[in-house]
Chains A and B, each alone.
Chain A
């Protein structure tokens, strides 16, 4: 059993720390590198006392630990889906359940260890200062964070085809509804790249939150300021566009063989980006943006997203060249928006995207760089 544990530690725990070296370097620097060595202990004691003594602060810390826990569980599940690791199903599946649960616990605690160590010290500090309730919260939370992933790993082992978006609900939906092509890319992101879409959406939420904050601080609403934040959100969606093209190239070739006119293909493309941008629009609506400004922002975002996506139908458009065009177009759009000509930008970009699509879609095929 000791040998099995060692192999699994190599597969999961060591790989996790190696793949996340940069993440831990940054974290280590932020926690220990920015403080004078002599003040390190008092700094962390104060930090711990800070979140143990304030419930909102404690909730933020627990949320950060939960995110790290999700990252850990996601890594283990991703390993199961990685090509070359299929042997994990028959081998781990052959073990008795109690032995397997112990292995899951060892693997997960090994990955979650940094939080366990910091949380353990924080709980000890809390008890020493008679902060029993927050200390108990930290302990209970971390115990739960070590236990719930075990059930997820067990489920994954017995349902290899079930992933983030193909659970019971999805199976129920599969029997009752058919997925329209406009949803294919959203499914792809949620099924196979949940962290990527989550990352982009969190970045956009941060950008918009900062935009609203600055608008409030600088004396009220100005659509030009909002449009600037919006444009940054559109640019942040650039990496999803590259993913979108790769997905279309790899899996959706069959759609080209369907007897559909070009405008239907274009509407499908527009539908994908309308759906993708709903969270940002909802966030703006929730911040009491006037309806007219909301409409302007929506039109601007859609015209930019569609133009940038349609640029990728040029055969030799790689990520680097695409980013150049995206930044150049954004730069011109920025000046139009600042000058109060936002709708002019929409009137140019939207027809341009349609023209590019109509001209390039049928002649597009995946370009293979022979030098690479």
Chain B
């Protein structure tokens, strides 16, 4: 079975300062905890994997979708939720949700249920400038579950959301994982292994990522 994601000679520098230099990394389906100190390169690694920032090398999904040769299909299969999401102040949650549904696809009825479960419905029509950090975080998590991804990258998903939303998030990760979706989660807080059965831990250090 091909790896869900394979990184080949991935290098990333900010100006002349190298941040990542990963010779090879392959992940099988599962739930992974991406660990590392502040500034180790966790967020950069996620942004590289999500196709948000340019890098050298290649990332291949499911053995045949290349970040270089199939950039559109690549982005359809990976979703990413930022640690501190930032959107234009005048956009509403609905604007963003419709944009994601229109480009990433997905089942509208299922998303409508997610909206209710995450408690986003009450403010979906308001501009994001009126959202608290927790509300904004829930919206970005909702967007990360939109479409038909095979890999979802969650950057610090546990911060700022309330306990009720946290329980829903754990449920969603388990449900999606059971359907074959792989998760890569960064968190400085320990992940509850009773809630999330981890497949492995990825450690970011010395510009490299190793599967522990």
Q: A166-B90, A191-B89 are in contact. Are A258 and B99 (CB under 8 A)?
A: yes
> A residues touching B (Cβ–Cβ < 8 Å)?
161, 165-166, 170-171, 174-175, 178-179, 181, 184, 187-188, 191-192, 247, 250-254, 256-261, 362-365, 367-368, 370
Contact: A363 with B90, CB < 8 Å?
no
Q: Which of B80-88, B187-195, B198-206 contacts A (4 or more CB under 8 A)?
A: B80-88
Partner of A175 from the list B54, B75, B90, B125 (CB cut-off 8 Å) is B125
Q: Is B168 an interface residue (CB 8 A)?
A: no
Q: Among the interface residues B75, B88, B91, B103, which one has the most CB atoms of the partner chain A within 10 A? A: B88
Q: Which of B33-41, B45-53, B178-186 contacts A (4 or more CB under 8 A)?
A: B45-53
Q: Is B129 an interface residue (CB 8 A)?
A: yes
Partner of B75 from the list A170, A251, A253, A259 (CB cut-off 8 Å) is A259
Which residues of A lie under 8 Å from residue B126 when comparing CB positions?
161, 174
Shortest beta-carbon distance from A173 to chain B in Å:
10
Contact: B103 with A178, CB < 8 Å?
no
Q: How far is the CA of A254 from the CA of B127 in the complex (A)?
A: 17
> B residues touching A (Cβ–Cβ < 8 Å)?
14-15, 50-54, 71-76, 78-80, 82, 85-92, 94-95, 98-100, 103-104, 125-127, 129-130
Q: Can you name 12 A-B pairs with beta carbons within 8 Å?
A: A170-B90, A174-B95, A174-B126, A175-B125, A178-B99, A179-B92, A253-B86, A254-B52, A257-B75, A259-B75, A259-B104, A370-B15
Contact: A187 with B80, CB < 8 Å?
no
Q: A166-B127, A251-B88 are in contact. Are A259 and B95 (CB under 8 A)?
A: no
Contact: A181 with B76, CB < 8 Å?
no
Q: A174-B127, A181-B99 are in contact. Are A192 and B72 (CB under 8 A)?
A: no
Q: A165-B90, A166-B90, A258-B104 are in contact. Are A362 and B98 (CB under 8 A)?
A: no
Known: A179-B90, A251-B87, A258-B103. 12 other contacts (CB 8 A): A161-B127, A174-B125, A174-B126, A179-B91, A184-B91, A253-B52, A257-B51, A257-B52, A257-B75, A260-B72, A362-B71, A368-B14
Q: How far is the CA of A181 from the CA of B95 in the complex (A)?
A: 9
Which residues of A lie under 8 Å from residue B80 when comparing CB positions?
257
Chain B residue with the shortest CB-CB distance to A190: B90
Which residues of A lie under 8 Å from residue B73 when comparing CB positions?
259
Partner of B89 from the list A192, A259, A367 (CB cut-off 8 Å) is A192
Looking at chain B's contact residues, is the secondary structure mostly helix, strand, loop, or mixed?
mixed
Q: A251-B86, A364-B54 are in contact. Are A259 and B91 (CB under 8 A)?
A: no
Chain B residue with the shortest CB-CB distance to A262: B71
Which residues of B lie under 8 Å from residue A187 when comparing CB positions?
88, 90-91
Shortest beta-carbon distance from A291 to chain B in Å:
35
Q: How far is the CA of A370 from the CA of B73 in the complex (A)?
A: 35
Contact: A259 with B72, CB < 8 Å?
yes
Shortest beta-carbon distance from B82 to chain A in Å:
8
Shortest beta-carbon distance from B87 to chain A in Å:
6
Shortest beta-carbon distance from B187 to chain A in Å:
21
Which residues of A lie under 8 Å from residue B94 when comparing CB positions?
174, 178
Shortest beta-carbon distance from A264 to chain B in Å:
9
Which residues of B lie under 8 Å from residue A368 when comparing CB positions?
14-15
Which residues of A lie under 8 Å from residue B79 when comparing CB positions?
257
Q: How far is the CA of A260 from the CA of B71 in the complex (A)?
A: 8
Contact: B90 with A362, CB < 8 Å?
no
Q: How far is the CA of A370 from the CA of B17 in the complex (A)?
A: 11
Which residues of B lie under 8 Å from residue A259 when comparing CB positions?
72-76, 103-104
Shortest beta-carbon distance from B116 to chain A in Å:
18
Which residues of A lie under 8 Å from residue B87 when comparing CB positions?
251, 254
Which residues of A lie under 8 Å from residue B99 when comparing CB positions?
178, 181, 258
Which residues of B lie under 8 Å from residue A178 when comparing CB positions?
92, 94-95, 98-99
Which residues of B lie under 8 Å from residue A170 when comparing CB positions?
90
Which residues of B lie under 8 Å from residue A175 when comparing CB positions?
125
Partner of A191 from the list B52, B90, B98, B104 (CB cut-off 8 Å) is B90
Contact: A161 with B103, CB < 8 Å?
no
Shortest beta-carbon distance from A76 to chain B in Å:
19
Chain A residue with the shortest CB-CB distance to B53: A365
Q: How far is the CA of A363 from the CA of B125 in the complex (A)?
A: 34
Which residues of B lie under 8 Å from residue A184 when comparing CB positions?
88, 91
Chain A residue with the shortest CB-CB distance to B73: A259
Q: How far is the CA of A80 from the CA of B61 in the complex (A)?
A: 48
Q: How far is the CA of A305 from the CA of B125 in the complex (A)?
A: 34
Which residues of A lie under 8 Å from residue B78 when comparing CB positions?
257
Which residues of A lie under 8 Å from residue B14 when comparing CB positions?
368
Q: Among the interface residues B79, B89, B130, which one has the most CB atoms of the partner chain A within 10 A? A: B89
Which residues of B lie under 8 Å from residue A257 when comparing CB positions?
50-52, 75, 78-80
Q: How far is the CA of A312 from the CA of B88 in the complex (A)?
A: 21
Shortest beta-carbon distance from B76 to chain A in Å:
4
Shortest beta-carbon distance from B138 to chain A in Å:
16
Q: Which 8 A-B pairs have the closest CB atoms?
A: A259-B76, A259-B75, A178-B98, A363-B54, A258-B103, A161-B130, A251-B88, A187-B90
Which residues of A lie under 8 Å from residue B50 when comparing CB positions?
257
Chain B residue with the shortest CB-CB distance to A370: B15
